[in-house]
Amino acid sequence: MAKVHNFSAGPSILPREVLEKAASAVLDFDNLKLSLLEISHRSKNFEAVMERARSLVKELMQLPDGYSVLFLQGGASLQFVMVAQNLLRERGKAAYIDTGTWASNAIKEAKIFGQVEVVASSKADNYRYIPKGYTIPADADYFHCTSNNTIYGTQIKEFPTSPIPMVCDMSSDIFSRRIDFSKFSLIYAGAQKNMGPAGTTLVVVKDEILGKTGRAIPAMMDYRTHISKDSMYNTPPVFAVYVSMLTMEWLVSNGGLEWIENINRQKAELMYAEIDRNPLFYGTVAPEDRSWMNACFLLKDPALEPEFDKMWKEAGISGLRGHRSVGGYRASMYNALPLESVQVLVEVMKEFERIKG
Ligand SMILES: *Cc1c(COP(=O)(O)O)cnc(C)c1O
């Protein structure tokens, strides 16, 4: 079978060894002669999976005491709602930075629960950059940002600081680099971009920020419910949690965030160097805000697209098309994508220049 170079933006590539272990657990989990998918989530075997997944998150993030780790459902999109519902006080105010489609969806949901101050936005410039130098109001209940803007290909390199609780949607760059995670009071990430399959969302929350809104919160929407039941208030997404656990084990056993950050930097440098060098292409975002995860670029002559598409597809490359809302190309280089796949793409771009130049 010819190798496929999977640049999909999400759900996206997972390490081969993780897929193999997951496939075998679907048939026979822990030598139980039963599938992972057909045992009780309250069995001691699955409870051990949940416990291990939680502790791997704490290990990778080097979290101090006082945080809870949850594996929920509903995707990152449900967190747009839960964050506001659990943190935005009755008659309170929240501060958001608008850096793309996902950030603006989060803003829209928060407005249902209270006042939202958008402290900065790059919307007028097609989200080409990350706004900087804005002021976070000290009287807001929390500040929300998106670490990596999957669709536009920008990434926050230096996070702002503020005494108010900091909330971050890390869906598309979770565990891709070293960060001071303890700077944040709440972090969430849909698993399907960089840590596992679709179906679960990681939430890391500082316990002390909860229970202050003054509103009644339905049990399923209340972080405190899920904390008190160790993410097993209702049936958890067992497969997604298990595969996320395997991916975190893969990360830790290879050297953790320092190891992966190094590889991700190499991939991004190689990719952007070619986008800048090759006269047929150009990058769409401000160089200082370029995402290491999603590199967005365009052909200067869009009429060449069909020919270029044919070439990369023949080279075994998959998933290179930009998001349907922006077009062009997007090379998603998540943790499990090997450097070799970026090398193949760069070779195709060089070859295309040779033919067309
Ligand atoms: C994909 C994505 C989302 C939406 O995730 P769902 O799990 O599909 O709801 C939210 N935020 C970011 C940054 C994303 O990349």
Mean per-residue pLDDT pooled into runs of 10, the chain (357 residues)? 89 97 98 97 97 98 98 98 97 97 98 98 97 97 98 98 97 98 98 98 98 97 98 98 98 98 98 98 97 97 96 97 90 98 98 94
pLDDT number for residue 160? 97
**Are 134 and 160 part of one and the same domain?**
yes
CA distance 352 to 343: 14
User: Does the predicted model carry a pTM greater than 0.95?
Assistant: yes
Q: Are 87 and 167 in contact (CB under 8 A)?
A: yes
Binding site for L-glutamate, by residue number, is: 42
- Give the domain-ending residue among 254, 273, 303: 254
Query: What atom in ligand 1 is closest to the CA of residue 77?
Result: 9
CA distance 52 to 347: 41
Instruction: Give the distance (Å) from ligand 1 centre to CA of residue 2.
Output: 31
pLDDT in tens, 77-124: 999 999 999 999 999 999 999 999 999 999 999 999 999 999 999 999
For residue 298, give its domain range. Answer: 256-356
Cβ of 76 below 6 Å from ligand 1: yes
Q: How many domains does the chain have?
A: 2
How many C-beta neighbours within 10 Å does residue 37 have? Answer: 12
Binding site for pyridoxal 5'-phosphate, by residue number, is: 76-77, 102, 150, 169, 192, 234-235
Cβ of 318 below 6 Å from ligand 1: no
β-partners of residue 317 are: 5
CA distance 183 to 180: 6
* Tokens of residue 150, six digits: 């999957």
Cβ of 291 below 6 Å from ligand 1: no
Largest CA distance in the chain: 65
**DSSP of 216-246:** ---GGG-HHHHHHTTT-SS---HHHHHHHHH
- Would you call 149 helix, strand, or coil by DSSP? strand
* Tokens of residue 87, six digits: 């943190």
- Report CA Rg, the chain: 21
Does 169 qualify as catalytic in the annotation?
A: yes
**Are 161 and 39 part of one and the same domain?**
yes
Cβ of 169 below 6 Å from ligand 1: yes
- The residues near 305 (Cβ < 8 Å, ≥ 6 apart) are 299
**Are 33 and 164 part of one and the same domain?**
yes
pLDDT number for residue 1? 58
Q: What's the one-letter identity of residue 135?
A: T
CATH number at residue 291: 3.90.1150.10
